[in-house]
Amino acid sequence: MSSILVTGGTGTLGRPTVTQLGAAGHQVRVLSRRPGPDRVVADLTSGAGLDAALDGAEVVVHLATSQGRRDVEQTRNLLDAVKGVQHLIVMSIAGIDRIPLAYYRYKLESERLVAGSGVPYTVLRATQFHDLVDRVFTAQRFAPVIFAPAVTLQPISVDEVAVRLAELVTAAPVNGHAADIGGPERLSARTLAQQWKQARSSRRSVLPVRVPGKTFRAFADGAATVDGPAYGRITFAEYLR
């Protein structure tokens, strides 16, 4: 079993990942800016405390993410401190090389930094999480209708992503991308909205929306979905139940 440091271990994906790794018998520590049980205190943005936090870690699972340039700077700071680690596993997003979204461009830049670092690594890309799709519709609770952009998505359970990350921890670094993973269904946002409406007993209508521009065109063309067989088995409707 390995000694593992998880960044972003208190987040949406981090919590089930830490649980999975602990259940597999690994020694797991969570990097955090705030002290707590099984946590090591460090700051990815400034780099303060990273050397001490990484001391003794054989594997690092990098799940922390930030908006814009900060994501790149945090990745760079981590790479400066991570020399000697046997395996760096980095969580990323399916389609970031095909969708011209600003957040995705920075995430792709972070991937390139990892690839050029010389650290043994594996990048795992996954599609949008079920809970993200849920939050998008929930955020519209005061709107007269439920807006559903004309895009195709393949949402996946965070628990299943956590299982895949735990699998990668016991595998050798691929020094590249592991196979992208996604949920069991490719559905239009309109269908997802209708499922959400039924599960939440909403009476509002679902209004499909077409948005101009390359970003939404890429989503509409399925750039946020994955090729090959799906990894996840839990559907969005099952998640809602």
Mean pLDDT of 55-77: 95
Contacts of 69 (CB under 8 A, 6+ apart): 106
Angle between helices 130-138 and 189-199 (to 10 degrees): 70
Chain centroid to Cα 31, Å, comes to 17
Domain boundaries, the chain: 3-240
Please report the pLDDT score of residue 170 as a whole number: 95
Burial class of 97 by CB neighbour count within 10 A (0 to 12, 13 to 18, 19+): middle
Nearest to 88 by CA among 180, 179, 171, 181: 171
Note the CATH architecture for domain 3-240: 3-Layer(aba) Sandwich (3.40)
Please report the pLDDT score of residue 2 as a whole number: 80
pLDDT tens for residues 132-191?
999 999 999 999 999 999 999 999 999 999 999 999 999 999 999 999 999 999 999 999
Identity of the residue numbered 85: V
Mean pLDDT of 68-87: 94
Rounded Cα distance, 148 and 159, in Å = 25
Whether pLDDT at 228 is above 90: no
**Contact yes or no for 26/165 (Cβ under 8 A):** no
- Three-state DSSP at 180 gives coil
Burial code of 104-135, b = ≥16 C-beta within 10 A, e = fewer?
bebbbebbeebeebebebbbbbbbbbbeebbe
Mean pLDDT of 37-50: 94
End-to-end CA, the chain: 35
Mean pLDDT of 54-77: 95
Whether pLDDT at 218 is above 80: yes
Angle between helices 102-115 and 69-81 (to 10 degrees): 20
Mean pLDDT of 75-82: 96
Please report the pLDDT score of residue 24 as a whole number: 94
Whether pLDDT at 1 is above 80: no
Rounded Cα distance, 22 and 14, in Å = 12
Rounded Cα distance, 124 and 74, in Å = 18
Identity of the residue numbered 143: A
pLDDT tens for residues 176-208?
999 999 999 999 999 999 999 999 999 999 999
